Amino acid sequence: MEEVKNIFFKSNLFSSDKKLVFHPEYLELTNKKSNIFKSKFEKESIANFRYGIKWLNGYAFTFGRIYCIDIENDKNEIIKIRLKSFYGFNLKSLSDKYVKIIDFLQDYYFDDISRKYLYNFTNDISFIINNIEFNKNGIILKKKHCSLGRCRN
């Protein structure tokens, strides 16, 4: 992916507009109107992301949902994106933005990162993911060495 993509969103009815910039070298979150810099993650520093939908349930029925996306870098800083829909307002546009954000994250960042780890693994090059060290002998979990079926200190 070579072109820069922007997604504009509002977390809810009362929040300010935000702009999420997908650049091949970085990910950036800013306020749309003032261009106040909020967070910027370099591509190589992105460590984790998770996403999901939280349903808002009332006594007898579901009245809304919150689309949640969290992106974490290697310094444990997190970009939290929340898209909230109540009683079906903006449901279609928010679900479309949610899917686009996840697709862009995968295309711009995680495909290349996973290819790098796969290359390292197939060529017996040691690497670390979330404090888990992968090497040619096995994996090391919090100072324990695990190979096929055995763990030792």
R_g of the chain computed on alpha carbons: 19
- Lookup result for tokens 């106040």: 36
Q: In the chain, where are the structural domains located?
A: 5-113, 123-153
pLDDT of residue 44: 87
Per mean pLDDT, which range of 50-54, 62-66, 117-121, 134-138 is the poorest? 134-138
pLDDT in tens, 61-89: 889 999 999 999 989 899 999 999 888 88
CA distance 21 to 147: 41
Query: Which one of 3.40.50.1010, 2.60.40.10, 2.30.33.40, 2.30.29.30 gives the CATH number of domain 5-113?
Result: 2.30.29.30
